[in-house]
Amino acid sequence: MNDELTSARILVVDDDHANTLLLSRILRAAGFRSVETCEEPEEALERFLEAQAGDAPFDLVCSDLHMPRLSGAALIECIRESTRADGDFLPLLVISADLSAQAEQACLSAGASDFVTKPFKAPQIRMRVSNLLRIRFLQRRLLQHNHDLETAVKARTAELEDARQDVLERLAAAAEYRDITTGRHTQRVGQLSALLAERLGCDAATTELIRRAAPLHDVGKIAIPDHVLLKPGPLSAREFALMKEHVDAGSRLLSRGRSELLAVAETIARTHHERWDGSGYPLGLVGDDIPLVGQIVAVADVFDTLVNERPYKRAWPLAQAVDEMRRQRDRWFSSVLVDAFLAVLDANPDLKAALEEHPSRSDEDREQVARRG
Ligand SMILES: [Fe+2]
C-alpha cells in the first residue's frame, strides 16, 4: 500500500469495546497508521464534524449498525448530510451482525458505501477498506485534475478575449492614427454610446457590447486616401463622395464576423451616417428603419466631433454644441435620442466639466462635421 493509503484517517465506531479493539488491530496490522475508535455514536459524530471542519478530516468511517441513542444508519445519514456540499467521495462502511435485507437497505438508503456482516474475517476488512480508500483518493485526484483543467481553460479563454479586444481596439485606432488630431475620439464615442444605451434601457450586456463595438464606427476610413482624409479645408463634392465610402469600406471589413460584437460593429459602421429625417447616407433610411445602435453612435459621434478640434474646424463651446444637438431634434436625430443625450449630459457632471469652453462655432463648421464625421 502506498503512503497515501496507509496515512488515511479512519474512524471506527462500535458500542462494543471488543469489536473496536479487534477492528483497529486488524487495520493497524494491515498498515493503516491513523485509526481512531469511539464507542459512543453521538461522540463519534461530534469528532467527525470537528475533524471535517479542521485540516485533517476523516477519510473513512467504519460503523456498527445497532447502537444505543444513535443507530449506525442515523449516524451515516448525519455524516452524509454534513459532507454533501464537498463533492468528495467519503467511504462509509457498515459492519453488522444483522443479516436482514431490511438492515442492509436501511444502511444503503442512509448513504453507506458498503456492508460487511459479522463475524468478519481480517482479509475481508483489509480488502474492503483499501478498495474504498483507493476510490476516495482516485476521485479526489480526478476532481483536482478537473479543477486544474477548468482553471487553465478559464485563463486561456480570458487571454483570448483580451487578445481579441486588443486587436479590435488597435483596428479602431488604426483608422484614427491617420488623422492624429482626433486623439481618443473613437474610445470617447464608445463611452458616450454606452451611456446613451444605458439611458435608453439596454441591459448591461448590450450596453457593454455597444461600448466595445462603437469605437469601430469609422474603421472604414482606412480606405480613404490621405488627400481627402487629412485635408484641412472644406471637401469638394467629389472628395465628399470619396469620404462617404468609409461607411461601405467599414461594413465590408467587419462583415461575416463570427461574433455578436463584430455583427453589432458592422451595423454601426453601416448606419452611423443615416439621419432620422432620411437625409443621411448611404441608404437614406428614415426613422426607426435606422438600427438603434446606428442612431446611438450617430449622436455620440456628432457631439464628440463638435466639442473637439479637427483639422477642418475648431472645437465648439459646450453650450453651443448642446444647442446644435437640440436643433437636430427630428432632423438628424430622433427626439428620443436627443432627450436621452440631454439626460446623460445632466447625469454626468464629470463629462460636462471635461469639455472646456472653446471659441464660437460657424455654419461652415456644421457642414464640415456632417461631411467628415
Ligand atoms: Fe463616420
pLDDT digits (tens, 9 = 90+) for 72-102: 889 999 999 988 877 788 999 999 888 788 8
CA of 369 to the centre of ligand 1 (A): 10
Which residues have CB under 8 Å from 142's CB, separation 6+?
A: none
- The owner of cell 428614415 is 286
Which of the following CATH numbers is that of domain 178-372: 1.20.1250.20, 1.20.1280.260, 1.10.3130.10, 1.10.3210.10?
Answer: 1.10.3210.10
Domain limits of the chain? Answer: 3-149, 178-372
pLDDT digits (tens, 9 = 90+) for 197-209: 999 999 999 999 9
CA of 53 to the centre of ligand 1 (A): 62
**Looking at 24-28, 120-124, 288-292, 363-367, which range is the least confident one?**
363-367
CA of 351 to the centre of ligand 1 (A): 22
Alpha-carbon distance of 362 to 296, in angstroms, equals 25
Confidence grade of residue 12 (pLDDT, cut at 50, 70, 90): very high
CA of 366 to the centre of ligand 1 (A): 15
Closest residue by Cα to residue 9 from 129, 139, 131, 143: 129
CA of 86 to the centre of ligand 1 (A): 56
Confidence grade of residue 370 (pLDDT, cut at 50, 70, 90): low
Alpha-carbon distance of 54 to 48, in angstroms, equals 10
Look at residue 182 and tell me whether its pLDDT is greater than 60.
Answer: no
Look at residue 368 and tell me whether its pLDDT is greater than 70.
Answer: no
Whether the CB-CB separation of 60 and 35 falls below 8 Å is answered with: no
Alpha-carbon distance of 341 to 295, in angstroms, equals 11
CA of 108 to the centre of ligand 1 (A): 71
CA of 219 to the centre of ligand 1 (A): 8
CA of 258 to the centre of ligand 1 (A): 23
Phi–psi pair at 194, nearest 5 degrees: -65, -40
CA of 246 to the centre of ligand 1 (A): 7
**pLDDT attached to residue 250:** 94
Which residues have CB under 8 Å from 350's CB, separation 6+?
A: none
**pLDDT attached to residue 359:** 45
**pLDDT attached to residue 310:** 79
CA of 301 to the centre of ligand 1 (A): 8
**pLDDT attached to residue 174:** 77
Look at residue 357 and tell me whether its pLDDT is greater than 50.
Answer: no
Confidence grade of residue 360 (pLDDT, cut at 50, 70, 90): very low
Q: What is the pTM of this model?
A: 0.63
The average pLDDT across 133-151 equals 94
Q: Three-state DSSP class for 62?
A: strand
Topology of the domain covering 3-149? Rossmann fold (3.40.50)
The average pLDDT across 325-336 equals 97
Which residues have CB under 8 Å from 273's CB, separation 6+?
A: 244, 247, 280, 281, 282, 298, 373
Percent above pLDDT 90 for the chain: 64
Whether the CB-CB separation of 41 and 67 falls below 8 Å is answered with: yes
CA of 298 to the centre of ligand 1 (A): 8
Whether the CB-CB separation of 216 and 253 falls below 8 Å is answered with: no
Look at residue 125 and tell me whether its pLDDT is greater than 90.
Answer: yes
CA of 371 to the centre of ligand 1 (A): 9
CA of 113 to the centre of ligand 1 (A): 69
Look at residue 146 and tell me whether its pLDDT is greater than 90.
Answer: yes
CA of 205 to the centre of ligand 1 (A): 25
Percentages helix, strand, coil for the chain (3-state, rounded to 5) are: 65, 5, 30
Maximum CA extent, the chain = 106
In degrees, to the nearest 5, what angle opens at C-alpha 344 toward C-alphas 339 and 346? 95
CA of 214 to the centre of ligand 1 (A): 11
